[in-house]
Structure 1
Amino acid sequence: MVECRYCEQAFEEESAIREHLYESHERDELSRIDQKRVDQYVEEHGLDEGSREENQIADQSINREQRTVDPPDGTYPADAWELSDVEALSTDEIVAKLANHGIETNETAFRNRVEDCNSATALSEQWEAEYEVDATGYDQDFIWMTAQELWERWTTDVPNKERIYDFVQKGRDLREKGKYAEACDQWLTAWEYILAVIPDDITTIEEADRTLPTFLSLEAFIRSLDSDLATVAEDDPAYHEHRLKFCREVCEQFPDADDEFLLDFHHFIADSLAELDRTADSRAEFKALIEEYPEDPWAYKKLADSYWLDDSDDLTIEEIERTAELYQAALKADTPLEGASIVADRLDEVENRLADTGASDERES
């Protein structure tokens, strides 16, 4: 007899428990061994899982997230392994328990293995494929949890996909407490890990998303982090530097992202440069945007503002004329410009300055 640990039904055949798990329980309720049972049932019956998670990295992340929350009745099954249980073991105890399950490892062997691996779950699957692993039920959870814990102890300098969740969640917790700068620090570390585990040949966000744990929507994460960095930078200018570096890395990592996304992040780069008083660099960025995206009104408007609002008293005739041309281009662009009336008013000011300067020149001559 095989018992279902989620509803206490019993089944005589393994095939029956697989079907029951597939039909009666949400996948994110399941332990890793039961997720494998569902996978086997799907494969045996040629089913399309559709919305069911097929990525084992995502499965582990879901398990990790679930295990940070107490179950409704406050108790876990007596034989269930929790991450805290594994963390409480000494390294010697972990190694000995792995040996009892047929897996032989030590620090040197582990470090050699992670050189070509960016996921603790993938490493545990290597063990299962290479050794005759004697682990059933919740002990299969112990295997991947152990891979995660030993990674933390022996190769903490090597990023893995599972740690991304930790940094993202810590950031969320800090943000809820109003500690926005500290939250950004955690998310920037998560970003470093994301860059480290994404394959080098990936150039779009969609491709990268498919290689990462599915708890994370990469574009939403990137945009949210940029927004929070900009907010924190209003009080702490050092975060303009952090935002600048982050946005440049985003553009460099994903050069084939869609135009709207890249346009936004090149604007963020130019804005950060302006906030850092690197005016020449900011103007160069806006000029590059105008060349690449000639129908974007904002690059014209912001470049004109950099002259008119910052240096209007010191502008040469040529610079005033150029400022007028930029405001005119912003108003004529096919893409609608929010605040067009403000731009029109500034254009009037610039043209009045030109008229006054011309009249002054005539009087002097």
Structure 2
Amino acid sequence: MADCPYCEQSFADESDIREHLYEDHEYDEFGRIDTKRVDQYVDEHDLKESADDDIREQQVTGEAERTAPATDRHSGERWELQDVQALSTAEITDKLAEHGIDTTEASFRDRAAGVNSAMTLAEQWEADYDVDASGYDRDFIWMASEVLWSRWAPDLPYRERIYDLVQEGRELREKGNDAEACEQWLTAWETIVAVTPDDITTIETANNHLPNVLALEAFLRSVDSDLATLAADDPAYHERRLEFCREVCTQFPDAPDELLLDFRHFVADSLTELGRLTESRSELEALIRDYPEDPWAYKKLADSYWHDESDEPSVRELERAAELYQQALDAENPLEKPSTVSNRLDDIERRLADVDTSETQER
């Protein structure tokens, strides 16, 4: 359960409390949720903005322009994360001490090693030091936890860092630094793996555990797409893509079949691009066993026996390819362009007929 810091209502999850804050409290009355995270959540979930949202955005912009630097703050002003980031470490710890929270780098790292969230660490402070804080003061505590984590324990993964890494990647991409952007997203993925408990095996459950601003499946597909694009110019990224896609399947073995099927295809594709044909065929054979209704594994495996090979295929390989192409055409799920497979099957059958004719003439 999540409690609103400005009234006595409780909510089942953060999405409910976020809606409550926007609907029932004026913007200048709360700061519990970082503004940029709410905005990113709205953007990634394609939520339509109302006229009231536009008015609120104008109010926020005007308020931000009038906000004094953090060092000139007045008592009772709303905290933003950037305000806390502007403070020195000593200023942060002094203000925490005003709330009865005594922390040092060593004690902070000890706490951080036992949790994976700055918010959780802040809640520990509030409980252990019997802190009586609400509203803006409570905002400062969790923001201070996040800022101190970035300074004192940057080597320890924490959930709030995921958003920052994803956002930094977006900013790098906007500047045209696609490779650097992808590196940030891969680091975000490493953090996701680190902070996700082993008993979470589905995308849906992971979404509930991770920051709400992250639409996990969309993020995973975006990273794969970027790795594939980069691999077109730098083959080293085929290896990175292979590793990433395998990790996704291992991390979320109970994800929807559509995602697992796609990512296992990506694994096979990467193996093919890396010239590891035997491994690629093994992956495609496994896909056929696990998803016999999928036509693409049949088609790709057939291609590997003759269409993708530089050497002249044997009669046995041509026959195997013909069998697979027919299975692709007969699969439960139809191909988008069956004519492509039909044409290749016709080509193989003509070549096999030529072989039969040649053998007959020799006899």
- TM-score relative to the length of structure 1: 0.82
CA distance in 2, matches of 1:246, 1:55: 37
Cα offset, 1:96, TM superposition = 2.3
Q: Which amino acid aligns with 1:351?
A: E
Distance in 2 of aligned mates of 1:237 and 1:271: 13
The alignment's C-alpha RMSD in Å is 2.8
The verdict on how the C-alpha distance between 1:268 and 1:104 changes in structure 2, with shifts beyond 3 A counting, is: same
Q: 1:129 aligns with which of 127, 130, 141?
A: 127
Q: Deviations over 1:92-113 (max 9, x none)?
A: 3322221221001112211111
For structure 2, list consecutive stretches of 5 or more residues without a partner in the other structure: 22-30, 41-56, 69-73
Q: Is the 8 A contact 1:331 1:340 kept in 2?
A: yes
Q: Give the 3 Å change call, closer, same or farther, for CA 239–255 of structure 1 in structure 2.
A: same
Counterpart selection for 1:321 from 296, 306, 319: 319
Percent identity over paired residues: 58
Alignment map for 1:163-242 (pairs within 5 Å): 163-242=161-240
1:41 aligns with 2:9: yes
Cα shift at 1:75 = 1.8
Secondary structure of the corresponding residue to residue 37 of structure 1: coil
Provide closer, same or farther for how the CA distance between residues 302 and 55 of structure 1 changes in structure 2, counting only shifts above 3 A: farther
Q: Is the contact between residue 298 and residue 327 of structure 2 (CA under 8 Å) also seen in structure 1?
A: yes
Letter in structure 2 aligned against 1:348: D
Residue of structure 2 equivalent to 1:155: 153
Task: Mark the runs of 5 or more structure 1 residues left unpaired by the alignment.
Answer: 1-31
**Aligned match of 1:140 in 138, 144, 149?**
138
TM-score (norm 2): 0.83
Q: For 1:59-138, what aligned pairs fall within 5 Å after superposition?
A: 62-65=34-37, 71-73=60-62, 74-76=65-67, 78=74, 79-133=77-131, 135-138=133-136
Which stretch of structure 1 is more off in the superposition, 307-316 or 230-239? 307-316
Task: Call closer, same or farther: CA 1:313–1:292 in 2, change over 3 Å.
Answer: same
- Separation in 1, partners of 2:215, 2:353: 53
> How far did 1:64 drift?
4.7
Q: Is 1:311–2:309 an aligned residue pair?
A: yes
Structure 2: how far apart are the matches of 1:55 and 1:278?
A: 54
Distance between the aligned counterparts of 2:157 and 2:193, measured in 1?
10
Residue 72 of structure 1 aligns with an amino acid whose one-letter code is T
Partner of residue 53 from structure 1, selected from 18, 21, 34: 18
Provide closer, same or farther for how the CA distance between residues 199 and 61 of structure 1 changes in structure 2, counting only shifts above 3 A: farther
Shift of 1:137: 4.2
2:335 equivalent in structure 1: 337
Amino acid corresponding to residue 254 of structure 2 in structure 1: D
Amino acid at match of 1:76: T
2:192 maps to amino acid: I
**How far apart are residue 80 of structure 1 and its match?**
2.9
